[in-house]
């Protein structure tokens, strides 16, 4: 299977299912057998997934991608052994980060719901114009890209986490703020935006926000 088919959703799902690390192997860059050069898509997805992991409180080093040919069996063994040793050093998912298991699962579920949105963002605003390892590294590690990603993803992740809470039962602003560690003013701002999009409504009797049933 082409490494380009390793979607961000697959990566996040693996972590959500309790995997402590994810290793992606792809063919050498610029030596793809297909005109699509899917391994660059895999590289882009890896950079984005690492940023997402960081945002949900997980060490991005739990994800790695390596490029090699079919004849590099020894190299593959070395890289996977090295990665396995690294992950064992980090420990179970969330342990070295100080994040509880339930919180890890909750945040990853919220992030997974944003994958379709992130695909659009990547296509429109995070697409690297030149296919080279250096160009991808410079682009995704640049301060401008990090600032853009932080602005886009932080807002959407906060809303996604709120939606997951409201899926269980209606809640007032204060409770949402307390459970998610958000400022009440930020919760209100996110709820106003979500209300305009027809996602939530405010019940004046209970003074709670509730999901709008489709």
Q: What is the CATH number of the domain that holds 196?
A: 1.10.10.10
35 pLDDT above the threshold of 70 = no
| In a shared domain, residues 50 and 127 | yes
Buried b (16+ CB within 10 A) or exposed e, 77-101: eebeeebeeebeebeebbeebebee
Domain final residue pick, 134, 150, 168 = 168
Q: Do 95 and 191 sit in the same domain of this protein?
A: no
Highest mean pLDDT among 32-36, 61-65, 75-79, 116-120: 61-65
Say if residue 152 is in the same domain as residue 178: no
Q: Are residues 130 and 43 in the same domain?
A: yes
State whether 63 and 150 are in the same domain: yes
**Cβ neighbour number for residue 117 with a 10 Å cutoff:** 13
Residue 123 has pLDDT above 90, yes or no: no
Q: Is the pLDDT confidence value at 29 over 80?
A: yes
pLDDT, mean of residues 32-51: 88
Q: Are residues 85 and 184 in the same domain?
A: no
141 and 153: one domain? yes
Average pLDDT, the chain: 92
Whether residue 187 sits in one domain with residue 162: no
Shared-domain flag, residues 43 and 116: yes
Q: Does 74 share its domain with 90?
A: yes
- 64 has pLDDT over 80: yes
For residue 73, pLDDT over 90 is answered with: no
What residue numbers bound the domain in which 180 lies? 170-214
Residue 140: how many other CB atoms lie within 10 Å: 19
Give the total number of structural domains in the chain: 2
C-beta pairs of 172-177 under 8 Å, 24+ apart in sequence: 172/206, 172/207, 172/208, 172/209, 173/209, 176/209
* Together in a domain, 33 and 52: yes
Write down the pLDDT at residue 122. 87
Quick one: 60 and 98 in the same domain?
Answer: yes
Q: How far apart are CA 2 and CA 15, in angstroms?
A: 21
């Amino acid at each position: 299977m082409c490494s380009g088919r390793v979607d961000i959703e697959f990566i996040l799902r693996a972590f959500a299912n309790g995997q402590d690390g994810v290793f992606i192997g792809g063919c050498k860059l610029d030596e793809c057998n297909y005109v699509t050069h899917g391994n660059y898509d895999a590289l882009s997805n890896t950079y984005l997934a690492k940023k997402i992991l960081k945002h949900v409180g997980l060490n991005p080093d739990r994800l790695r991608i390596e490029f090699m040919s079919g004849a590099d069996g020894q190299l593959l063994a070395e890289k996977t052994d090295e990665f396995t040793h690294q992950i064992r050093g980090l420990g179970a998912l969330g342990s070295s980060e100080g994040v509880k298991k339930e919180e890890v699962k909750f945040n990853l579920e919220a992030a997974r719901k944003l994958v379709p949105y992130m695909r659009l963002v990547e296509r429109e605003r995070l697409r690297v114009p030149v296919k080279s390892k250096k160009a991808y590294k410079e682009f995704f590690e640049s301060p401008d890209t990090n600032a853009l990603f932080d602005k886009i993803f932080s807002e959407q992740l906060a809303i996604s986490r709120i939606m997951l809470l409201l899926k269980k039962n209606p809640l007032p602003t204060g409770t949402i703020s307390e459970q998610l560690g958000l400022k009440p003013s930020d919760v209100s701002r996110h709820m106003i935006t979500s209300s305009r999009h027809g996602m939530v409504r405010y019940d004046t009797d209970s003074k709670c926000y509730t999901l709008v049933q489709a």
